[in-house]
């Protein structure tokens, strides 16, 4: 894994936004995998700023979001789809048909998961997957477990994860769904390039386990160690617990 440490989250967001803008200019039909959460908000803000300055053209890009709450239609203001509309989609030139989202309201979830896998395949796979890090080591909604699901699936959310997502529901924990649809570990690891962004001291312990610990389903993000082109972008707070030079993964 390639580790990059920035002074703060805005510096990381700015460099990544410019990186995405360059890829958009270079690659026709760039396929982006996108996360939700607090972490990517500065990134989306910067991407929107570049778009407004005429430096990020999404007209031919395609996006796939990582996950969605089960039982919420995309029109629900608490859904991840609504989050993406607010922070990115409403502000850039990305047509609706190029935006791909898991339908949290699907009746047949197995079919919905298969539909998503096929759509990713048809798009030619994901070129750049951006990820956030759950404080318990999850990516997407692949929660710590004895075994992980390879493909897009229905995920049961842990208490800590529901609490971490409560802010989206105005702090009302009872309203946070217990299940979600999520890309699986293989779906994520098949992306050609992965950039995991983790910021803030609250992620430091988990970041160290992800990079310096063994590959284990107890820390799903540790599977990124198996990827040929995975980068971890940190601010100083999130990098604080790394032993650095002693880590074989540190470049
Ligand atoms: C949620 C999402 C993840 C995200 C994580 C981290 O649970 N399902 O995809 O990476 O939260 O969120 P934050 O960036 O707010 O710390």
Best residue among 102, 132, 167 to mutate for probing ligand 1's pocket (most ligand atoms within 8 Å of CB) is 132
Helices and strands, number each (H, E), in the chain: 8, 10
In order, the DSSP letters of 81-111 are HHHHHHHTGGGS---GGGEE---TT-S-HHH
What's residue 246's pLDDT?
A: 46
- Residue 89 CA from chain centroid, whole number: 15
Backbone φ and ψ for 159, nearest 5 degrees, come out as -55, -45
Q: Which atom of ligand 1 is nearest to the CA of 202?
A: 16
Assess whether the C-beta atom of 104 lies below 6 angstroms from ligand 1: no
Q: Check: CB of residue 123 under 8 Å from CB of residue 62.
A: yes
Interatomic CA distance for residues 169 and 11, integer angstroms: 29
> Which segments of the chain have a pLDDT < 70?
244-251
- Residue 52 CA from chain centroid, whole number: 23
Assess whether the C-beta atom of 42 lies below 6 angstroms from ligand 1: no
Interatomic CA distance for residues 160 and 148, integer angstroms: 18
> Tokens representing 111?
């079919």
Assess whether the C-beta atom of 220 lies below 6 angstroms from ligand 1: no
What's residue 251's pLDDT?
A: 47
Q: Check: CB of residue 170 under 8 Å from CB of residue 207.
A: no
Tens-digit pLDDT profile for residues 174-183 = 999 999 999 9
Tens-digit pLDDT profile for residues 212-240 = 999 999 999 999 999 999 999 999 999 99
Would you give the end-to-end CA distance of the chain in angstroms? 7
What's residue 56's pLDDT?
A: 97
Q: Check: CB of residue 7 under 8 Å from CB of residue 236.
A: yes
Assess whether the C-beta atom of 137 lies below 6 angstroms from ligand 1: no
**C-alpha radius of gyration, the chain, whole number:** 17
The pTM for the full model equals 0.96
Is residue 121 among the annotated active site residues? no
Q: Check: CB of residue 16 under 8 Å from CB of residue 233.
A: yes
């Amino acid at each position: 894994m390639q580790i990059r440490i920035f002074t703060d989250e805005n510096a990381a967001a700015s460099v990544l936004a410019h990186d995405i803008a360059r890829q958009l200019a270079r690659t026709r039909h760039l396929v982006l995998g996108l996360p939700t959460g607090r972490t990517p908000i500065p990134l989306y803000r910067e991407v929107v700023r570049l778009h407004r300055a005429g430096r990020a053209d999404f007209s031919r890009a395609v996006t796939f979001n990582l996950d969605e709450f089960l039982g919420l239609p995309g029109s629900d203001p608490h859904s991840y789809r609504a989050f993406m509309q607010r922070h990115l989609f409403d502000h850039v030139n990305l047509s609706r048909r190029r935006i791909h989202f898991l339908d949290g309201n699907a009746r047949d979830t197995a079919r919905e998961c298969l539909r998503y896998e096929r759509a990713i395949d048809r798009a030619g796979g994901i070129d750049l997957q951006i990820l956030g890090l759950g404080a318990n080591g999850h990516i997407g909604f692949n929660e710590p477990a004895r075994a992980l699901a390879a493909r897009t699936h229905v995920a049961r959310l842990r208490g800590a994860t529901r609490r971490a997502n409560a802010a989206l529901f105005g702090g009302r924990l009872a309203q946070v769904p217990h299940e979600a649809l999520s890309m699986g570990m293989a779906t994520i690891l098949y992306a050609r390039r992965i950039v995991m962004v983790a910021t803030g001291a609250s992620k430091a312990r988990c970041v160290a386990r992800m990079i310096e610990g063994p590959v284990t389903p107890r820390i799903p993000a540790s599977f990124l160690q198996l990827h040929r082109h995975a980068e971890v972008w940190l601010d100083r707070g999130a990098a604080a617990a790394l032993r650095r030079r002693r880590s074989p993964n540190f470049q």
